[in-house]
Amino acid sequence: MYVNLKPTMKLKGVVRGLTEYAAFVDVGGGVTGMLKLKDITDINVNHTSDILTLGQNIEVSVTKFDRDTGKIELSYKEFLGSFQDNIKRIKEGDIIDGIVRNRTKSGLFVQLKSNLAGIADHVNGIEYGQKVLVSVKKINKESKKIKLVIIG
């Protein structure tokens, strides 16, 4: 089966290892593929465990297969939906639970879904990984940006 792997092929797998920059997915037959952090989500997170858990069953697609080494690179984020897919059920004024995933000069990035985040102004005392309650202030579908206000 694995000699016929091609990019975009879909496989089912089980997460067997998590590191800061990659997850390792058993795709069957004793074969493990690598899932780089950039191929897990578009959200800026510190660790693969922010999105995946050990033992989790997931669907992945093949991005690269090296026949000589047997190394398989995988992608997961397309199964989480695009910005347009994820924003469909959210509207301005909604109150949503989120998790702080990054702190930059411009603000706090808050994860709303596995592949969707927005930005809120800095609030003292709020740390990475903390659950927060946010109000959706503005959605810009063209620029794929969401402005949030932390309310709790």
> What tokens were used for 22?
């990659």
**Residue 11 to residues 22, 37, 75, 138: CA-CA distances in angstroms?**
18, 18, 10, 37
Q: Where in the chain is the domain with CATH 2.40.50.140?
A: 2-80, 84-150
What whole-number distance in Å separates Cα of residue 23 and Cα of residue 41? 12
Q: Could you tell me the pLDDT band of residue 29, with boundaries at 50, 70 and 90?
A: confident
Pairing of strands 116-120, 145-150: parallel
Does 2 score more than 80 pLDDT? no
What whole-number distance in Å separates Cα of residue 128 and Cα of residue 109? 9
Does 1 score more than 60 pLDDT? no
CA 4 from chain centre, in angstroms, equals 28
State the Cα torsion 22-28-29-31 to the nearest 10°.
Answer: -10
Architecture of domain 2-80: Beta Barrel (2.40)
| Helix ranges (DSSP H) in the chain | 83-87
- In this structure, are residues 126 and 132 in contact, taking their beta carbons and an 8 Å threshold? yes
Domain 84-150, CATH among 2.40.50.140, 2.50.20.10, 3.30.420.590, 3.90.660.10? 2.40.50.140
Does 61 score more than 90 pLDDT? yes
Mean pLDDT for the chain?
92
Q: Could you tell me the pLDDT band of residue 70, with boundaries at 50, 70 and 90?
A: confident
- Coil, helix or strand at residue 33: strand
How much of the chain exceeds pLDDT 70, in percent? Answer: 98
pLDDT score for 24: 97
Pairing of strands 145-150, 131-140: antiparallel
pTM value is: 0.82
Q: What is the pLDDT of residues 119-147, one digit of tens each?
A: 999 999 999 999 999 999 999 999 999 99
